[in-house]
Amino acid sequence: MTKINLSDSILSQVDKPARYIGGELNSCKKGITQDMMRFAFCFPDVYEVGMSHLGMQILYHFFNRREDVYCERVFAPWADMEKLMKLNHMPLFSLETHTILKNFDFVGFTLQYEMSYTNILNMLELADIPLYSEERSEEDPLIIAGGPCACNPEPLAPFIDIFYIGEGEVTYDVLFDKYKEWKASGKTKREFLEQLLDVEGLYIPCFYAETYHEDGTIKEKQTLHPKAKDKIKKVIVKDIDQVFYPEVQIVPWIQAIHDRVTLEMFRGCIRGCRFCQAGMIYRPVRQKSKEVLLQHAKKLLRSTGYEEISLASLSTSDYEDLQCFSEELMSLCQEEFVNISLPSLRVDAFSVDLMKKVQEVRKSSLTFAPEAGTQKLRDVINKNITEEEILNGCRLAFEGGWNRVKLYFMLGLPNETEEDVKGIAALAEKIALVYYQIDKEKRQGGLQLVVSTSCFVPKPFTPFQWEPQDSVASFMEKHNLLKNSIKRKQIKYNHHDAKTSILEAVIARGDRRVSALIYRAFKNGCTFDSWGEHFRYEKWEQAAEEAGIDFDFYATRARGYDEILPWDHIDIGVTKKFLMKENEKAKDIVTTPNCREKCSACGISRLEKGVCNEN
């Protein structure tokens, strides 16, 4: 076993050396035995980002609860550290024991966003592990990947040995047990992968292939092994109250993006916004009881010393027992002198009332996400909120003492017109007028209204997965139109980079051929592409030319319902028939009620859990 001697002379030359040393409060320290399975949990971004990720905190402690598994963390080294590692011939290493990655049994990557994919290749190369799975030897670790972006595994398929589809607490124990048996048997790595074809939720890409029509669309998804399934079904936790949840969180040495206790309230979302991938792939909705949540809160606050707790879910205000739970949590937090942090809320009276209680003393900005500026477009995307509700929610917020409001919108949504873009400015202006209609004595300082727009990216397993994306030029025209439509100086406008969004769409909807684009971009020096200062679009354009990839084919091209999609072999529970139906309703500007109001027969009820089966 090779360990890295991380000397002070190296650490003194890098920014934030605490990113690399390990040993934080609540990190796991184990005695290593010969038969122990070693798992390197890799987050393909910098330490501060990865340490904010709840999924990593959960699985890290879930794996380490087993005596025969040692899970250690690995983050992408920042440019200064990478340069020194190469200069000193230092392979990539884990935080807990500074062991090089080649010595691990598994090297696992979490796929949270497409623009981190080049970092995955960079981390493998820094670890001296061959990038392509077919080039690895029996001595190399198995490379596994999971997370939300694994729902379309094909762009990374040539680099990954095993994709995990679904929630990590379900199948990893089966995987570890099978690995122990295989390791004792002396069989080949391929024989182990063949055994995994029987395990629910695991996709082994080497046993599948794609063929293509002359027009570039997929002709057929082929299985290359008699045991390879035509459909890979995601796995889900059945009892959310009984599922493992850590009693401790690792407390980072330096401030992370989200530096606080994180409390997972429920999984899934009842809303069904047609652009939202998370709202589809995390179904069914399963919420934890308030008693379990309060137990988690007490234990985590006690074990970390944090002075803030964040409530995590896709739509916090949809928690059924939110009023009782929030009152009890606030009572606990007042006793402990702990602040409560809430994510973006629905713009309604209850959400604002909750924020009033939570932020009685220190009022931060409020964040709302109307997503579209006109009622027509909000109905297209199934946002199910009216302008009246938005204005009333903002009025309540202003009367409650807030003067800083952030509003999130999308540009480039299906069925969008010039009037819809201008509608964002018009809605912001109406909100500003609401503020100035409030009695002066109720206002707290001057109005600060921030309008932010992201660029619509059509994602797999959404009703809009067949829709074309706007071109860079179209996005820029809309940015300028909106900017020029905002007249009031109290309204600030920020927008997301259009070129990054085009690449997100190319990778998100990519097939196996897109792996060549990712490889060439990496070889051209593309890493940390989600960081503006590192992103170089021209290098991606060069990579596309070298790999023979047409951005428009993947991003701006509309698909027909009869086209085979790269992710059609993955079953996330929601049916293709339902997604088609929702896409047609979007074209007809017809909304769908949320899951608690009426079941829309999305297909997830066959998993027999969650809100679908509560009654």
> Does the pLDDT value for residue 303 go beyond 70?
yes
CA–centroid distance for 511 within its chain: 20
Note whether 509 and 152 are within 8 A (CB): yes
Residue 405 pairs with which residues in a beta bridge? 366, 449
Residue 263's H or E segment, with its range, is strand 261-264
Tell me the C-alpha distance between 349 and 361, whole Å.
20
- The domain locations on the chain are 8-233, 261-496+573-607
- The two three-digit tokens of residue 293, written as one number: 């949540």
Query: Each residue of 389-419: pLDDT tens digit?
Result: 899 888 888 887 788 889 999 999 999 999 9
Mean pLDDT of 325-345: 82
Across 296-319, average pLDDT: 88
Worst-scoring range by mean pLDDT, 336-350, 383-397, 468-482, 509-523?
336-350
How many CB atoms sit inside 10 A of residue 307's CB? 14
How many Å separate Cα 474 from the centre of its chain?
Answer: 26
pLDDT at 347 over 80: no
CB 164 within 8 A of CB 236: no
Question: 1: pLDDT confidence band, cut at 50, 70 and 90?
Answer: low
Q: 582-601, pLDDT tens digit by residue?
A: 999 999 999 999 999 999 99
Number of H helices, E strands in the chain: 20, 19
Is residue 142 within 8 A of residue 189, CB to CB? The reply is yes
Report whether 500 contacts 454 (CB < 8 A).
Answer: no
Q: What is the pLDDT of residues 37-60, one digit of tens each?
A: 999 999 999 999 999 899 999 999
Give residues with Cβ within 8 angstroms of 359, minimum separation 6: none
The residue type of 92 is: L
pTM summary value: 0.95
pLDDT value at residue 396? 83
Amino acid 210 reads E
Six-digit token pair at 393? 């929610």
Q: What average pLDDT does range 348-356 have in this prediction?
A: 67
Q: Report how far residue 501's alpha carbon sits from residue 514's, in angstroms, rounded to the nearest whole number.
A: 16
pLDDT at residue 345 is higher than 70: no
Q: Would you give the distance in Å from CA 478 to the centre of its chain?
A: 26
State residue 429's pLDDT score: 96
- How large is the greatest C-alpha to C-alpha distance in the chain, in angstroms? 78
For residue 10, pLDDT beyond 90:
yes
Instruction: Pick the range with the lowest mean pLDDT from 32-41, 327-336, 384-393.
Output: 327-336
Q: What is the DSSP letter of 128?
A: T
The CATH class, in words, for 8-233 is: alpha beta
Residue 441: pLDDT band (50, 70, 90) is confident
The angle at the Cα of 55, spanning 102 to 582, to the nearest 5 degrees, equals 120
pLDDT, tens digit, for every residue of 87-122? 999 999 999 999 999 999 999 999 999 999 999 999
Kindly report the CATH class assigned to 261-496+573-607: alpha beta
Q: What percentage of the chain carries pLDDT values higher than 70?
A: 96
The predicted structure's pLDDT at residue 361 = 44
Tokens (6 digits) for 352:
């604002």
Lowest-pLDDT range, 27-36, 111-120, 338-347, 541-550? 338-347
- Comparing CA positions, the residue from 471, 574, 565, 573 lying closest to residue 510 is 565
Distance CA 543, CA 530 (A): 17
Mean pLDDT computed over 201-209: 98
- The number of residues in the chain equals 615
Residue pair 415/464 in contact (Cβ under 8 Å)? The answer is no
**pLDDT for the residue numbered 339:** 83
Name the CA dihedral angle for 540, 545, 549, 551, rounded to a multiple of 10 degrees.
50
Residues 500-549 pLDDT 10s: 999 999 999 999 999 999 999 999 999 999 888 889 999 999 999 999 99
Give the containing element (helix H, strand E) for 610: none
Lowest mean pLDDT, pick from 131-145, 228-242, 311-325 = 311-325
For residue 366, pLDDT over 60 is answered with yes
Average pLDDT, the chain: 92
**Order of all β-strands in the sheet with 339-341:** 261-264, 308-312, 339-341
Strand boundaries in 179-307, DSSP class E: 202-203, 208-212, 218-223, 232-233, 261-264, 266-267, 286-287
Whether 158 shows a pLDDT value over 50: the answer reads yes
